[in-house]
């Protein structure tokens, strides 16, 4: 069938600069460039270009420019180009539209409508370059009260705690969705920076067991790679109920990505789709969730916190209360803008609520019920910089997860082709020829650099507020003010309007 | 407990489980197994969950009474024999070992099992053997003597599931519908009558080959010896083999 889809991008090749070295031909995984031997020319199939910039950055003579195709439809606020082209694609395939990364629509990003406070005159700010600043965070259930022995040693028995040097962890990205080199980069950077990375639901390659004390292992509906050693090496065990990019639905890792090694860690036949059922079939209620939480505590001899991750949805606050009562030491909320390696586009862009609202309402609810101490709250789904981190902490989060930001540090340009398995940057693929494009030495360095930069910025933010520990900002919404928000939005966020 | 110096003796230890919370019971089991006890008898078991979880070496555990949910979850190595009925989640994500139930078992028995063998003498509940897995020689086995409820072998990615229907009359049909829905690996053997509509869309039915007969002789033989049945007589009946029709049952669902 002839496609009615126009090219998304235009590829411009400067003939003066092109030396016909064919680097672009070799780098492009979507076959957008080809060498015409007869004419001794490199040419392009523009309709294949996804705009990932791999060729542009690797062209030794900077001969390439990629631009959005300016092909205009008649202006129509309702029938925008994306809407039209989605319909064309479905008319030609009859399938569910798949996509990668997070919701790219224009729902309000509340981080951009929240501003932070700073000290002026009435209290001094602190210079983090010369005074100690504390970002240390402990995840896990905290006791109601602390009792000490006569010699001041701790009498109260503490639930397992995990110490983070920086309150930013790497979000769950499964082996199979991303490559082993990406896992290794994340694991090494987390170890170096004193934080945690998350295996996602595809199991853990034995090569990475040595990073176990900085590893969160996931137990999801597909139960891939869940065995005693996996649970033993981990620092935290996380039950995945849902994901912000696809609340309420399961996952299908396409068969193309189930390579020999992925088949080994997941224990499914090579080339088959890895199917994660929509629900966990042993969890149909809060009581059932409690059963799995305590099964995992029992299986790990009560030595590790058990985390439960849900997608942020309408009733998150009530659900979170149930999760805490089910024994979750950490609860993870993944918001509307949370990312994915593959999800139906219609779900990604339309289901779930913004993380800021979910976080504020869950934190408030748990405080009202007097159970906030029983769990740590971690949020994810669109955290872009240290400003977002500081605002999340002020709204009540103990720590955040970053997924997309971490991948961008590794080279991702958010071209949203993760579901194709052809990632030209070698990140979201299991094709061994491509996965080599991420070098774990360099990858770990880039990720550690990112966390170092954010840590320095967080310390600056704290110093400006005149506090010297993240603990003083945590859940302290007086440090936030809203800009351009309605009364209802401010009420849910628990934040006052700027100027008030 | 302290009195029993059982280290390395392969000795039988009896525990009266009445009034014991599961955490206490499992802690005792862990200590005994770590000390190399060969066999533990649990008497008066009344619904304690997670029995055998976190045990990772061969030991015989005999349970008299009714063990609670998630019996042998994540377990790797022990053999558990239940003289009574097992509840839901028996053998959940089990890695290795054996569970033999002299009675019925509840829902999702063998959920996501990665290895080991489970034998149930009588009936099981819904979604038995869901998402069992397999890699090379690591192949979980679930043999059910009675009948099963709907979604038997749903999402199966590997392993061997055998349903014998021994308590059904000659003219009766197996009880389960949607058998093997979403199945993409492994094999199911059904003994007894089954109508086409009872099968999931993703499975095909076939006659048995010599290799299948060999598997059945071995596993039904074990089943029969556990529960004192005549294997020959069970095997004389006609079996149907179910296999996944596609490696990628949902491969054509998407537009790229």
Best A202, A251, A268 residue to mutate vs chain B (most B CBs within 10 Å): A268
Q: How many CA atoms lie within 13 A of A271 on its CB side?
A: 2
| Fold observed for domain A137-497 | TIM Barrel (3.20.20)
Query: Does residue A36 surpass a pLDDT of 50?
Result: yes
Of A95, A263, A273, the CB nearest to B255: A95
Q: Contacts of residue B91 in chain A, CB cutoff 8 Å?
A: none
Query: Does residue B247 surpass a pLDDT of 90?
Result: no
Where are the strands (E) in B102-183, listed by range?
Answer: 117-120, 141-144, 157-163
Instruction: Report the first-to-last Cα separation within chain A, whole angstroms.
Output: 61
Q: How far is B216 from chain A (nearest CA, A)?
A: 22
Query: Does residue A140 surpass a pLDDT of 70?
Result: yes
Categorize the per-residue pLDDT at A144 as very low, low, confident or very high, splitting at 50, 70 and 90. very high
In angstroms, rounded to a whole number, what is the distance separating the alpha carbons of residues B184 and A36? 43
A259 touches chain B (CB under 8 A): no
Do the Cβ atoms of A252 and B250 come within 8 Å? yes
| Helices vs. strands in chain A: H and E counts, helices first | 16, 21
DSSP B166-222: TTS-TT-B-S-SSBTTT--EEEEEEESB--GGGB-TTEEEE---HHHHHHHHHHHHH
pLDDT given at position A237: 98
Q: Contacts of residue A272 in chain B, CB cutoff 8 Å?
A: 157, 184-185, 247-248
Comparison of pLDDT for A113 and B136, the residue scoring more: A113
Is A196:A162 a contact under the CB 8 Å cutoff?
yes
Exposure string of B66-94, with b = 16+ CB inside 10 Å and e = fewer, is bbbbbbbbbbbbbbbbbeebbbbbbbbbb
Query: Does residue A112 surpass a pLDDT of 70?
Result: yes
Categorize the per-residue pLDDT at B4 as very low, low, confident or very high, splitting at 50, 70 and 90. very low
Do the Cβ atoms of B26 and A298 come within 8 Å? yes
B21 touches chain A (CB under 8 A): no
pLDDT given at position B250: 81
Query: Does residue B168 surpass a pLDDT of 60?
Result: yes
Do the Cβ atoms of B254 and A95 come within 8 Å? yes
Categorize the per-residue pLDDT at B9 as very low, low, confident or very high, splitting at 50, 70 and 90. low
3-state DSSP call for residue A276?
strand
Q: Contacts of residue A93 in chain B, CB cutoff 8 Å?
A: 254-256
Best A282, A348, A422 residue to mutate vs chain B (most B CBs within 10 Å): A282
Best B93, B113, B202, B245 residue to mutate vs chain A (most A CBs within 10 Å): B93
What value does the mean pLDDT of chain B take? 93
**CATH 3.30.70.20 placement within chain A:** 9-95
Chain B residue with minimum CA distance to A302: B23
Backbone φ and ψ for B250, nearest 5 degrees, come out as -115, 25
Do the Cβ atoms of B157 and A231 come within 8 Å? no
Best B133, B140, B152 residue to mutate vs chain A (most A CBs within 10 Å): B133
Is A461:A390 a contact under the CB 8 Å cutoff?
yes
Taking only the tens place, the pLDDT of each residue in A38-97 is: 999 999 999 999 999 999 999 999 999 999 999 889 999 999 999 999 999 999 999 999
Question: Taking residues A409-413, what's their average pLDDT?
Answer: 97
Residue entry with tokens 């905290």 = A142
Exposure string of A481-494, with b = 16+ CB inside 10 Å and e = fewer, is bbeebeeebbebbb
Q: Contacts of residue A269 in chain B, CB cutoff 8 Å?
A: 134, 157-158, 184-185, 247
Q: Which of residues 141-170 of B touch A (CB under 8 A)?
A: 154-155, 157-158
Q: What share of chain B is helix, strand, coil (3-state, %, to 5)?
A: 15, 30, 55
Best B34, B69, B247 residue to mutate vs chain A (most A CBs within 10 Å): B247
CA A471 from chain centre, in angstroms, equals 23
Question: Taking residues B187-197, what's their average pLDDT?
Answer: 95
Q: How far is B23 from chain A (nearest CA, A)?
A: 7
| Fold observed for domain A9-95 | Alpha-Beta Plaits (3.30.70)
pLDDT given at position B6: 47
Which residues, 6 or more positions from B231, have their beta carbon under 8 angstroms from its beta carbon?
Answer: B217, B220, B221, B223, B224, B225
Name the nearest CA neighbour of B59 among B31, B85, B84, B87.
Answer: B31
In angstroms, rounded to a whole number, what is the distance separating the alpha carbons of residues A395 and A154? 30
Taking only the tens place, the pLDDT of each residue in A205-239 is: 999 999 999 999 999 999 999 999 999 999 999 99
Q: Please give the angle made by the CA atoms of A372, A377 and A380, to the nearest 5 degrees.
A: 155
Query: Does residue B5 surpass a pLDDT of 50?
Result: no
Residue B20: CB atoms within 10 Å: 18
Categorize the per-residue pLDDT at B3 as very low, low, confident or very high, splitting at 50, 70 and 90. very low
Question: Taking residues A289-301, what's their average pLDDT?
Answer: 96
| ipTM for this model | 0.91
Question: Taking residues A172-192, what's their average pLDDT?
Answer: 97
Do the Cβ atoms of B54 and A223 come within 8 Å? no
Do the Cβ atoms of A268 and B108 come within 8 Å? no
Taking only the tens place, the pLDDT of each residue in B222-245 is: 999 999 999 999 999 999 999 999
Candidate from A246-260, A453-467, B45-59, B77-91 with smallest mean pLDDT? A246-260
Q: Contacts of residue B112 in chain A, CB cutoff 8 Å?
A: 222-223, 226
Candidate from A190-204, A238-252, B5-19, B100-114 with smallest mean pLDDT? B5-19
A445 touches chain B (CB under 8 A): no
Do the Cβ atoms of B88 and A90 come within 8 Å? no
Of B23, B131, B255, the CB nearest to A222: B131
Query: Does residue B1 surpass a pLDDT of 80?
Result: no
Q: How many CA atoms lie within 13 A of A83 on its CB side?
A: 8
**CATH 3.20.20.70 placement within chain A:** 137-497
Q: Which of residues 74-93 of B touch A (CB under 8 A)?
A: 74, 76, 88-89, 92-93
Question: Given the DSSP bridges, would you call strands A496-497 and A480-482 parallel, antiparallel or unpaired?
Answer: parallel
Q: Contacts of residue B130 in chain A, CB cutoff 8 Å?
A: 277, 281
In angstroms, rounded to a whole number, what is the distance separating the alpha carbons of residues B68 and B84? 11
Is A232:A210 a contact under the CB 8 Å cutoff?
no
A233 touches chain B (CB under 8 A): no
Query: Does residue A26 surpass a pLDDT of 90?
Result: yes
Q: Contacts of residue A300 in chain B, CB cutoff 8 Å?
A: 54
Residue entry with tokens 């009588």 = B122
Of B56, B131, B185, the CB nearest to A228: B56
Q: How far is B228 from chain A (nearest CA, A)?
A: 32
Q: Which of residues 160-189 of A touch B (CB under 8 A)?
A: none
Chain B residue with minimum CA distance to A418: B256
Q: What six digits make up the tokens of A31?
A: 């076959």
Of B53, B56, B157, the CB nearest to A269: B157
């Amino acid at each position: 069938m002839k496609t009615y889809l126009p090219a998304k991008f235009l590829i411009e090749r400067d003939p003066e600069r092109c030396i016909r070295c064919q680097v672009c031909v070799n780098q492009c995984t979507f076959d957008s460039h080809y060498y015409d031997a007869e004419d001794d020319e490199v040419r392009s199939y523009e309709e294949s270009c996804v705009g990932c910039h791999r060729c542009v950055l690797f062209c030794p003579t900077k001969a390439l420019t990629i631009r959005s195709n300016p092909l205009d439809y008649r202006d129509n606020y309702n029938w925008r180009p994306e809407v039209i082209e989605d319909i064309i694609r479905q008319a030609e395939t009859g399938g569910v539209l798949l996509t990668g990364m997070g919701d790219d629509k224009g729902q309000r990003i509340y981080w951009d409508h929240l501003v932070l406070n700073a000290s002026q005159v009435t209290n001094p700010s602190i210079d983090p370059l010369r005074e100690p600043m504390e970002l240390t965070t402990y995840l896990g259930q905290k006791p109601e009260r602390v009792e000490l022995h006569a010699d001041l040693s701790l009498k109260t028995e503490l639930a397992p705690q995990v110490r983070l040097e920086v309150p930013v962890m790497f979000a769950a990205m499964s082996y199979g969705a991303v490559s082993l080199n990406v896992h290794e980069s994340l694991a090494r950077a987390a170890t170096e920076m004193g934080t945690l990375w998350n295996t996602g639901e595809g199991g853990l390659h034995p090569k990475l067991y040595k990073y176990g004390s900085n590893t969160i292992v996931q137990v999801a509906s597909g139960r891939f790679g869940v065995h005693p050693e996996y649970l033993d090496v981990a620092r935290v065990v996380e039950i995945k109920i849902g994901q912000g990019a696809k609340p309420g639905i399961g996952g299908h890792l396409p068969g193309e990505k189930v390579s020999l090694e992925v088949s080994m860690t997941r224990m499914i036949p090579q080339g088959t789709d890895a199917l994660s059922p929509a629900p966990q079939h042993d969890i149909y209620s809060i009581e059932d969730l409690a059963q799995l939480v305590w099964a995992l505590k029992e299986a790990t001899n009560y030595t590790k916190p058990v985390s439960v991750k849900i997608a942020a949805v309408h009733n998150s606050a009530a659900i979170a209360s149930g999760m805490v009562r089910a024994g979750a030491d950490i609860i993870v909320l993944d918001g509307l803008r949370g990312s994915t390696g593959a999800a139906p586009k219609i779900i990604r862009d339309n289901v779930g609520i913004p993380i800021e609202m979910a976080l504020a309402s869950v934190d408030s609810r748990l405080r009202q019920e007097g159970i906030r101490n029983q769990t740590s709250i971690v949020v994810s789904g669109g955290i872009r910089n240290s400003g977002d981190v500081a605002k999340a902490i002020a709204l009540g989060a103990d720590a955040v997860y970053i997924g997309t930001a971490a991948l961008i540090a590794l080279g991702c340009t958010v071209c949203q082709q993760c579901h194709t398995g052809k990632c030209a940057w070698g990140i979201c693929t299991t094709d061994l020829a491509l996965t080599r494009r991420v070098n774990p030495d360099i990858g770990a360095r880039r990720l550690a650099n990112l966390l170092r930069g954010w840590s320095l910025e967080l310390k600056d933010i704290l110093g400006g507020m005149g506090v010297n520990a993240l603990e003083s900002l945590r859940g302290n919404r007086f440090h936030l003010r809203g800009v351009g928000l309605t009364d209802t939005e401010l009420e849910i966020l628990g934040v006052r309007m700027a100027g008030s | 407990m302290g009195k029993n110096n059982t280290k390395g003796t392969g000795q039988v230890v009896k525990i009266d489980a009445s009034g014991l919370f599961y955490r206490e019971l499992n802690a005792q089991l862990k200590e005994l197994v770590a000390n190399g006890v060969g066999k533990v008898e649990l008497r008066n078991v009344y619904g304690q969950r997670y029995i055998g979880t976190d045990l990772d070496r061969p030991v015989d555990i005999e349970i008299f009474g009714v063990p609670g949910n998630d019996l042998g979850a994540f377990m790797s190595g022990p053999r558990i024999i239940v003289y009574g009925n097992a509840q839901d989640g028996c053998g959940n994500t089990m890695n290795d070992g054996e569970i033999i139930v002299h009675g019925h078992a509840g829902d999702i028995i063998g959920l996501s099992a990665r290895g080991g063998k489970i034998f149930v003498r009588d009936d099981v509940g819904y979604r038995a053997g869901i998402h069992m897995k397999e890699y090379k020689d690591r192949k979980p086995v679930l043999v059910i003597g009675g009948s099963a409820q709907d979604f038997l072998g749903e999402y199966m990615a590997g392993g061997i599931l055998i349903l014998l229907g021994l308590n059904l009359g000659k003219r009766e049909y197996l009880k389960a519908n949607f058998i093997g829905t979403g199945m993409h690996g492994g094999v199911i053997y059904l003994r007894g009558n089954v109508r086409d509509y009872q099968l999931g869309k993703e499975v095909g039915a076939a006659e048995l080959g010599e290799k299948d007969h060999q598997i059945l002789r071995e596993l039904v033989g074990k089943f029969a010896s556990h529960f004192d049945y005549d294997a020959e007589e069970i095997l004389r009946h006609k079996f149907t083999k179910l296999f996944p029709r596609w490696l990628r049952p949902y491969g054509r669902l998407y537009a790229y």
